[in-house]
């Protein structure tokens, strides 16, 4: 009988290893494919800036061109394989869950993935243009604006991450209400603090122009409201 817990732990570790191997294998395949198209992907990711910087980016480091292309390939591989990665996480966790918990987890993973990708698209198609337009508009006449490619891609990766997380707010709100961490009444009462906090966060993580800050603060607030509305619909109050 004493060997059963050890056997159970060993089987879980083997299962975890197999899931990790599958995840890394799929990521590696996507990474290799992305490397092949890395130059084209570079053009796509720099397109929002090229409207205001026709001269192109510079690269000051000896290995910077290689590092930048590797980062681009890794980003694309991560995004493309995200559904598979989350599926592997779900498949590992699901056997230990009750039926009602499985019903909650799968929609959570799907919605979290979709919203994260929507947040990245929002940053690429709307936010980047506003940021670069603002920077180009404040340049003195005798100043040349020649961003480094490494700095540029570090900036857009941070923005992708921030806006991806921002669009996860409705999922987080519904999940907290569903598992009972907060009540819907408490969420409504926290609305003034959420509004102020949205603008504070936007002022910290975005460039110092009003348009960029509004494009993060307002969606953050509206997504919170969407989460509260969804929680009212999806979360049934517990009867005493």
Q: What is the pLDDT of residue 238?
A: 59
Instruction: Give residue-wise pLDDT tens across range 79-123.
Output: 999 888 888 888 888 777 777 667 777 788 888 889 999 999 999
Instruction: Give residue-wise pLDDT tens across range 149-195.
Output: 988 998 898 889 889 989 999 988 888 888 777 888 888 888 899 99
**Residue found under tokens 């961490």:** 181
Q: What is the pLDDT of residue 99?
A: 75
Distances (CA, A) of 158 to 75, 132, 205, 218: 12, 15, 9, 19
- The strand ranges marked E within the chain are none
Give 127's DSSP letter.
Answer: I
Q: What is the pLDDT of residue 119?
A: 92
Residues 6+ apart with CB under 8 A from 226: 169, 170
Residues 6+ apart with CB under 8 A from 145: 53, 135, 136, 139
Coil, helix or strand for 58? Answer: strand
Q: What is the pLDDT of residue 1?
A: 45
Residues 6+ apart with CB under 8 A from 39: 69
Query: Among positive and negative, which fits the CA dihedral 43, 144, 155, 24?
Result: positive
Question: Is the separation of the CB atoms in 62 and 19 below 8 Å?
Answer: no
Q: How confident is the model at residue 46 (pLDDT cuts 50, 70, 90)?
A: very high
Q: What is the pLDDT of residue 77?
A: 95
Distances (CA, A) of 169 to 77, 92, 172, 231: 24, 25, 5, 12
Backbone region of residue 148 per phi and psi (left: phi > 0; alpha: psi in -120 to 50; beta: other values): beta
CA dihedral 24, 30, 32, 38 (to 10 degrees): -130
**Residue found under tokens 């337009």:** 133
Rounded Cα distance, 206 and 209, in Å: 8
5 vs 160, residue with greater confidence: 160
The answer, yes or no, to whether residue 212 has pLDDT greater than 80, is: no
Give 61's DSSP letter.
Answer: S
Rounded Cα distance, 150 and 60, in Å: 9
- Give residue limits of the domains in the chain: 1-139+146-167, 170-240
Among 218, 217, 45, 212, smallest CA distance to 130 is for: 212
For residue 208 the two structure tokens come to 């110092």
């Amino acid at each position: 009988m004493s060997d059963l817990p050890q056997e159970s732990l060993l089987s879980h570790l083997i299962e975890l290893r197999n899931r990790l191997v599958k995840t890394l294998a799929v990521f590696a395949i996507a990474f290799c494919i992305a490397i092949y198209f890395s130059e084209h992907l570079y053009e796509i990711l720099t397109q929002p800036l090229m409207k205001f910087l026709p001269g192109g980016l510079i690269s000051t480091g000896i290995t910077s061109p290689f590092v930048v292309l590797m980062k681009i390939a890794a980003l694309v591989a991560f995004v493309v394989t995200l559904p598979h990665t989350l599926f592997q996480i779900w498949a590992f966790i699901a056997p230990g869950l009750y039926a009602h918990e499985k019903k909650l987890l799968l929609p959570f993973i799907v919605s979290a993935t979709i919203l994260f990708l929507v947040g990245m698209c929002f940053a690429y198609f709307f936010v980047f243009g506003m940021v670069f337009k603002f920077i180009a508009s404040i340049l003195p006449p005798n100043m040349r604006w020649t961003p480094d490619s490494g700095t540029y891609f570090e900036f857009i990766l941070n923005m992708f991450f921030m806006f991806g997380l921002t669009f996860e707010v409705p999922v987080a709100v519904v999940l907290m209400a569903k598992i009972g961490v907060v009540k819907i009444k408490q969420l409504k009462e926290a609305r003034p603090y959420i509004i102020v906090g949205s603008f504070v966060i936007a002022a910290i993580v975005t460039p110092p122009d009003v348009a960029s800050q509004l494009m993060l603060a307002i969606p953050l607030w509206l997504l919170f409201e969407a989460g509260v509305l969804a929680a009212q619909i999806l979360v049934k109050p517990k009867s005493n």
